[in-house]
Chain A
Amino acid sequence: MSNKSIVRCENIYKSFGPTKALVKVDLQVCEGEIRGLIGENGSGKSTLSSIIAGVRKADKGIMYFRDKVYAPNTMVEAQKKGISMVVQEMGTISGITVASNIFAGRLDIFTRGGLFFPNAMNKAAKQILDEIGLTDINPSTMIDHLNFEDRKIVEIARAMQIKPELLIIDETTTALAAKGRKILYNVIDEMHKQNKAVLFISHDLDELKNICTHITVLRDGKIINTMDEKDMNIPDMRRYMVGRELSDNYYRSDYDGSYDEKVVLELKHITNDNQIENFNLQLHQGEILGIGGLADSGMHEVGRLAFGIEPTLTGEVMCTGSHSKISNPSDAIKQNIGYVSKERDKEALILNASIIDNIVLPSLDRLKNKLNLIFKKSENDMAQHQKEIMEIKCRDTKQFVNELSGGNKQKVVFSRWLANKSDILILDCPTRGIDVGVKANMYHLMYELKKQGKSILLISEELQELIGMSDRILIMKDGNITQEFMRSEDLTENKIIEYMI
C-alpha cells in the first residue's frame, strides 16, 4: 500500500445549534486503504462523511484532496473531484429508468446538438452494471420495478460511474442481502486493487473486521483511535465506541442451554398465504429460542403468526398452559404474550404520543378501577416504574417518543410488555439499529427474564446475536426449518450459514 494521501481532514469542527457533532477531527485516508468508520449513533460519523462528500460544510477546519485544498460546496462538486457517496436511505429517483438514475445530472454527456440519445446512455449504463456485477438488469427498466436491494446497487453503480478516487459508503449494507453485499465487496476490492480508497461506515463490526485495512473509531464527535489490521478485534472496537469497559459477557456468560420441559407456546401445522406451510414449533418455559435465516426465509412471518397478527389458515397457535387458541393480538395479550415488531417506528410505537401512552396501551384493562375508569396517576406510576427499571433516558415520561434515540425507543417498547407482565416475548430483530451500550443492556435483560422463567422467541438476522443468546436455534429457509442447533461453545456462523442459503 502506498502512502499517498487521497483525502485529509484537519481540525474539523461542526455544530448543529447547541449540539457539537464534530470536535477537532483529524482524519487521513490514503491510497489503497479500506477505512472503516465506526461509532455509536450520534458519534458524528455521518456528519463527517457528509462533509467529505460535499453535502454540508464544516464550521472550522480544512480539507485536502490529493494535497490540494478541497472545499466542495455541493455533492456535484465533490463528485467532479472524485469523491462520491452511497447513502443509507433511498437515494434513487422514482419514475425514471435505471440508466437515467445512474447518469442523473449528467445527461449532457449523451446530448449532441440538443438531441438526447437514450440508447447511448443505456449502453453506457449496461457497461457499468456489468462491471460491478449486476448483470441481470436491463438499464431501460423503470427503477420502480426493482426491489429495494437492486435499487441500492444501482446507487452504487451511480457512485462508481464517475470513477471516484474515494468511495464513501454510509451504512449501506443494512439494506443489502447476500447478492448486494457480494457486489459491494467486489467493488471495494477493485478500489483497493486500483490503489483507490474507500470510507466504509457500518454497524456490523464483523463485516468491517473482515474487509477493512484500518478502522477509525469516533465517539461524541471526537476521533478516539485508528486501528490497523493487527489491532482489530471486536471487544476493543466496542470498548472504544462505548468508552467504558463492557463486561466480558456481551451476550450470555453461560453455555448452559437448558430449559424446562414444559411447553408454553406451540405452533401446530400453521399455514399462511405466503411461504409458511404446515409449520410446527414449540417454545418451552425458560427458553430463549432463536430463529435465524435470510430476510425472506419466512421467520418474520412466523413471529407474526405466533402473535396472532396474521391468521393461520390451518392448524392453530396454542398457548399450552391455558389451552387457549391465539387468533388475534388481543388473545395473545390476554395470555401474557408480548410482541416486538422489527419495524420499530412503523409498527411498534406511536411516535406522536408520550412515553406513558406507549407503555400503558396493552395494560389498559389492568389499570381500570372498579368503575372502569383509568386515572392518570395509575398510568404515570406504571410508566415511571418502567422508566426507572429500564433506565429510559428522557426528560420525563410525558415526553413524546419521537424525541428519543433509537435505543431508548426500543426500551419503551420493551417496557410496554414488561409492564403488562408478559411471560412470553416474541422479539423480531430487537436490537436492530441500536448502539452497542444499549444492546448489552438488552441482552442482559433477556437473560434475566430467562432466569425468571420467562420464555423468549428471538427472531434475528444477526447470527452472532442468535449464537450468543439462544438456548436453541432454528434455521429457516423458504418457510421451513432446515436445521436445529443447541447452545454450544463451538457453534460458529460458518456452521449455520449453509442451512440458510
Chain B
Amino acid sequence: MLSLIKNYVNQKQNVFWPGKVELVKYRVSNISPFLGLIFITLVFSFTTNGRFASISNMTNLVNQCFNVIIIAVGISFVFAHGGMDMSIGSVLGVSSYVGAMVWNMNNMPGVAGFFIAILVAMVFTFITSTVHIVARVPVFVASLCIRYICSGILTTLVSENDMYIDYTKYNGLNNGILKFFVLIIVIAIGYILYEYTAVGKSLKSIGGNKTMSYHSGVKTSRYIWGAYMILGITIGIVSMFSLARVGNVTATTGVGMEFDAMTAIVLGGFPIKGGARAKIRSAIIGAVTVAVLTNGLTLIGLDPSIIYGIKGVMFIVIVGISYVRKKGEIVN
C-alpha cells in the first residue's frame, strides 16, 4: 500500500488512477459473489427451519446444479473470446437421444454412451464454429441455425414415442457423491485450462482485441474452434447424466439450457463480451447461486410464477448495473 501511495504522489502525468478507496472497493467487488452466496445460504437455512441445509437437500442441490455448472465451465471458454452459442439446449437433446440409443443396445458398455454423446455434441458445436470462422457468419446466427436443426431432428425422432432407457440399469450414475466428484474434476480441469494455459489466456485476449491477438501470433481460428469443442464435450457429459437422472428423452429435453447457463454466468459477474475480466470462477459461482436460489425458493413454497419473476428481476438488476454507459457494452 505504501508503494502505491508513493507512486501516486510521484506521478507526473495527468492520469487518473484510482486511489486507495477505489482499490478497496475493487477487492471487495471481487469477493462479493462469494459473500452473496454465503448470505443466501444462511438466509435459506434459517427460513426453512434447517431443511435447506439437510443432507438430503444438499444431495438434491448437487444433482440440480450439476448440469448448469458443467455447462457454465464449457460456456466460459466460448464467451471468453466474445462468442456465444444459442443452440446448447437443442444439441443437448439430440446427444441425449443418440446416447440413449447406444445405452439401449445390448452389448454396449455404459461408457460408450458417453463417448458417442460427446461426439455428437462436438459435431454440432464444430459446425457452428466452422460456419462462423469460414463463412464469417455471426455466431448468433450460426448457432440459431443449429438450434433449429437440432430441435427439428429431436422433435422428429421423438414424434412417435419418447425415447426411454432402462432406468434401473443406469441409476448408479445418480449417486450424489459420484456427481460431486465429477463436478470437482470438471471444474478443476476447466479451471486449469482456463487460468493456467495458453488456451484460456489466448481466448481472453481474442475477446479483448482480436486483431491485436492475431498480431501477437495467436492462431485465433484454432482457439475459437477449440473453445467450441470444449463446450461440446461439456454438453455431451451433461446430456448423459441428465438422461440417467430422468429416464427418457422428450421433445423438451434440454430446452432453455443456454439461457440458464447465460443467466448463471452473468449473475456471477462474467462479462458477456469476454475479455480479460472474464474469470471462470465467476461462471461457477453464478451457476451455484442460481441453483441455490431455485432450490431454496421452491422449498419455501413460493408460487412458481413468483420464482420466475424473481429470477427475471434479478437478472435485469444485475445486468443493468453492470452496463457501462459510456462504453455501451456490458463490462464488469
Contacts and interface: CB of A to CB of B under 8 A. Distances in A.
Contacts of B8: 395
A65 interface: no
Contacts of B196: 373-375
A329 B216 contact: yes
B198 A309 contact: no
29 contacts: A17-B16, A220-B14, A309-B214, A329-B214, A334-B217, A346-B211, A347-B209, A348-B215, A349-B212, A351-B209, A352-B277, A352-B331, A353-B208, A353-B276, A360-B201, A362-B216, A364-B198, A364-B202, A368-B198, A372-B197, A373-B196, A374-B196, A375-B196, A393-B13, A396-B4, A400-B276, A403-B15, A405-B13, A416-B216
Contacts of B205: 350, 353, 357, 361
Interface string B1-44: 00010011001111111100000000000000000000000000
Contacts of B12: 393
Interface residues of A, number: 46
A309 B214 CA distance: 8
Nearest to B7: A395
Nearest to A375: B196
Interface string A387-409: 00000010110011001110110
A307 B216 CA distance: 11
A128 interface: no
Contacts of A144: none
A361 B218 contact: yes
Contacts of A41: 14
B226 to A, nearest CB: 14
B16 A19 contact: yes
Contact of B217 (A330, A400, A408): A330
Interface string A304-334: 0001010000000000000000000110111
Nearest to B206: A350
B113 interface: no
Contacts of B211: 346-347
Centre residue among B209, B215, B218, B277 by max chain A CB count within 10 A:
B215
Interface of B: 4, 7-8, 11-18, 192, 196-198, 201-202, 204-205, 208-209, 211-219, 275-277, 331
B1 to A, nearest CB: 11
Contacts of A368: 198
Contacts of B219: 330
Contacts of A309: 214-215
Given A309-B214, A405-B13, 10 more contacts: A41-B14, A329-B214, A346-B209, A348-B212, A350-B208, A350-B276, A351-B209, A354-B276, A361-B217, A364-B198
A236 interface: no
B198 A403 contact: no
Contact of A374 (B201, B215, B331): B201
A425 B248 CA distance: 61
A405 B277 contact: no
Nearest to B200: A374
A361 B216 contact: yes
B217 A353 contact: no
Given A330-B219, A374-B197, A361 B17 contact: no
Contacts of A357: 201, 204-205, 208, 276
A365 interface: yes
Contacts of B218: 330, 361
A222 to B, nearest CB: 13
A395 B17 contact: yes
Given A352-B331, A393-B12, A395-B8, A347 B215 contact: yes
Contacts of A433: none
Given A354-B276, A372-B197, A329 B13 contact: no
Contacts of B197: 372-374
Given A341-B215, A346-B211, A405-B15, A352 B275 contact: yes
Nearest to B276: A353
B275 A350 contact: yes
Given A354-B276, A364-B201, A408-B13, A373 B217 contact: no
A339 interface: yes
A354 B204 CA distance: 12
Contact of A333 (B17, B217, B277): B217
A42 interface: yes
A403 B18 CA distance: 9
B198 A374 contact: yes
Interface string A355-390: 001001110110010001111000000000000000
Contacts of A395: 4, 7-8, 17-18
Contacts of B217: 329-330, 332-334, 361-362
A330 B215 CA distance: 8
A89 to B, nearest CB: 15
Nearest to A399: B17
Centre residue among A353, A357, A374, A408 by max chain B CB count within 10 A:
A353
A146 B12 CA distance: 41
Nearest to B17: A395
A46 to B, nearest CB: 11
B198 A42 contact: no
A317 to B, nearest CB: 15
Contacts of B275: 350, 352-353
B190 to A, nearest CB: 14
Contacts of A400: 276
Contacts of A408: 13, 15
Contacts of B204: 353, 357
